[in-house]
Amino acid sequence: MAPSDGTLSRRGFIGGVGAAAAVGAGLGGLGGLAVPAYAGAANEEPSTPDGALAALIEGNRRYRTGRWTRRDYSPVGEERASKQAPFAAILACADSRVSPPLIFDVERGNLFAAHVAGNSIDDGSAGSLEYAVAVLSVPLVMVLGHTDCGAVKSAMDVVSGKASFPSETFGSIGAVVDPVVPAVQSVPEPERSLDHCIVANARVQAHALSIRGPVLPPAIRSGALRIVSAVYQIASGRVVLV
């Protein structure tokens, strides 16, 4: 719950834009190096589920095509430190390669992110997303799996009998692998590749979230919320809805 809002581009940022644009112009001729346009904060603030999803898809397109928005990552300052305005919430794996604000090219304060290994639903991840919807009025939740996911690999090993994670040896590691096991089991055995299991896990967790508790299902029924599942392809940077 980063204390930040989405209004950076509207206040006190003009000087930064001009200075960076000048630097960009200076670098533009260096060996044909493409310098991304400096637009300050993207400041996306869509209020509908479809608008939020479109903003994420477009942001990911900018990211993976090298046209990301150049941003000022210095401290946000007192004015913006007491509020946030996320337009979407992401449930992502804890994997160090998965950075939602980066891969969706979204300004700090505009994207609420919960991270747990295996991007699975537990009290912590569900409660975080319920907070985003109920308190922050986020219209979109995306469950985001990723290629080469270690949690899914571990769940596959559990299912195949190659591994187990008893708490006396592994602490709570088993508790983050266990929720992924049903997703692996949902894939027919002949098709149980890592990529298929990663897709299945994103779908299974998104479905589990959509029917869980008193907050999210009514919001979905009213049209105020949409929950989608997706996979981030680390090598290409592409996020694919699944």
| Chain residues that interact with Zn ion, rule: CB under 5 A | 93, 95, 149, 151
Residues in the annotated binding site for Zn(2+): 93, 95, 146, 149
Q: d(Cα 205, Cα 118) in Å, to the nearest integer?
A: 9
Min separation Cβ 103 and Zn ion, Å: 14
Task: Indicate the angle between helix axes 194-210 and 150-159, nearest 10 degrees.
Answer: 100
Report the candidate in 114, 135, 113, 133 with the shortest Cα–Cα distance to residue 123.
114
Q: d(Cα 130, Cα 108) in Å, to the nearest integer?
A: 20
Min separation Cβ 194 and Zn ion, Å: 11
Min separation Cβ 101 and Zn ion, Å: 18
Min separation Cβ 110 and Zn ion, Å: 24
Nearer to Zn ion, 55 or 177 (CB): 177
Nearer to Zn ion, 8 or 144 (CB): 144
DSSP letters spanning 90-118: EEE---TT--HHHHTT--TTSEEEEE-TT
Nearer to Zn ion, 53 or 155 (CB): 155
User: Which contacts of 21-28 are long-range, i.e. CB under 8 A and separated by 24 or more positions?
Assistant: 24/70
Residues in the annotated binding site: 93, 95, 146, 149
Nearer to Zn ion, 6 or 145 (CB): 145
Min separation Cβ 41 and Zn ion, Å: 29
Q: 221 is written with which tokens?
A: 């029924």
Nearer to Zn ion, 12 or 150 (CB): 150
Question: How far is CA 208 from each of CA 53, 64, 121, 213, 233, rounded to the nearest angstrom?
Answer: 20, 30, 7, 10, 23
